C-alpha cells in the first residue's frame, strides 16, 4: 500500500448491500476485487461483522448466517477487534451524534486507522468532517 493510498473500512450496510446483490453492492465487489488483486486487505470492525451475521440470520435464516461466516473467511477483509479504549471511543461518538451504536464502531475504526469509511448509510453524514466517507 502506498502512503498516498488510504485503507478502507466497510460498515455493515455496505457488506449487506454486497451480499444482497444490491446495485450499490457492486462498488463493494469492485473494492474487494481490487484489494485482493493488490494483495491488500479491507478493514471491518468485529461489531459490524456481528451485525451482518444477525441481519442475515433474521432476513434469511440462521443457516444463511453460518454460510456468510464461511464466505467471510475467504474475503480480503481483516476483522478489527476492540480494546476497552476502542469501546469508549465508539461510545463517545454515539453520545455526540445521531448514529447507531454499531455505526459508531465503524466510524471509530475509520478514525483509528485513518481510513475511508465505505457506506451508503446516511446516518454517517452526521460525522462528515470527522471521517472521510466513500458513499456508495
Residue 104 sits in a domain whose CATH number is 3.40.50.1010
pLDDT at res. 94 = 97
Query: Starting at the edge strand that comes first in sequence, how are the strands of the sheet with 8-10 ordered?
Result: 77-80, 42-45, 8-10, 116-119, 132-135
- 20 domain-assigned: yes
pLDDT at res. 61 = 98
- In terms of DSSP H, where are the helices of the chain? 12-19, 25-37, 46-59, 62-72, 84-96, 101-113
Q: Measured between alpha carbons, how far is 32 from 58 in angstroms, rounded to an integer?
A: 25
pLDDT at res. 46 = 98
Q: What is the distance, to the nearest Å, from the Cα of residue 67 to the centroid of all Cα atoms in its chain?
A: 19
Q: Measured between alpha carbons, how far is 90 from 18 in angstroms, rounded to an integer?
A: 25
Q: Measured between alpha carbons, how far is 107 from 10 in angstroms, rounded to an integer?
A: 10
Q: Measured between alpha carbons, how far is 10 from 117 in angstroms, rounded to an integer?
A: 6
pLDDT digits (tens, 9 = 90+) for 46-93: 999 999 999 999 999 999 999 999 999 999 999 999 999 999 999 999
- 102 domain-assigned: yes
Number of domains in the chain: 1
- 1 domain-assigned: no
Q: Measured between alpha carbons, how far is 1 from 24 in angstroms, rounded to an integer?
A: 25
The set of cell numbers assigned to 122 is: 446516511
Angle made by CA atoms 22, 24, 29, in degrees to the nearest 5: 90
Beta pairing, strands 132-135 & 116-119: parallel
pTM of the predicted structure, to 2 decimals: 0.93
Domain carrying residue 21: 8-135
pLDDT at res. 1 = 41
- 2 domain-assigned: no
pLDDT average, residue stretch 8-25: 97
Amino acid at each position: 500500500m502506498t502512503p498516498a493510498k488510504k485503507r478502507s473500512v466497510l460498515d455493515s450496510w455496505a457488506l449487506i448491500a454486497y451480499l444482497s446483490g444490491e446495485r450499490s453492492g457492486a462498488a463493494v465487489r469492485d473494492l474487494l476485487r481490487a484489494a485482493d488483486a493488490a494483495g491488500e486487505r479491507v478493514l471491518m470492525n468485529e461489531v459490524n461483522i456481528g451485525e451482518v451475521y444477525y441481519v442475515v440470520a433474521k432476513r434469511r435464516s440462521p443457516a444463511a448466517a453460518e454460510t456468510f461466516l464461511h464466505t467471510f473467511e475467504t474475503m480480503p477483509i481483516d476483522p478489527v477487534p476492540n480494546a476497552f479504549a476502542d469501546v469508549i471511543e465508539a461510545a463517545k461518538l454515539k453520545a455526540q451524534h445521531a448514529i447507531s451504536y454499531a455505526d459508531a464502531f465503524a466510524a471509530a475504526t475509520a478514525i483509528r486507522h485513518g481510513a475511508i469509511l465505505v457506506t451508503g448509510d446516511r446516518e454517517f453524514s452526521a460525522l462528515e468532517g470527522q471521517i472521510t466517507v466513500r458513499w456508495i
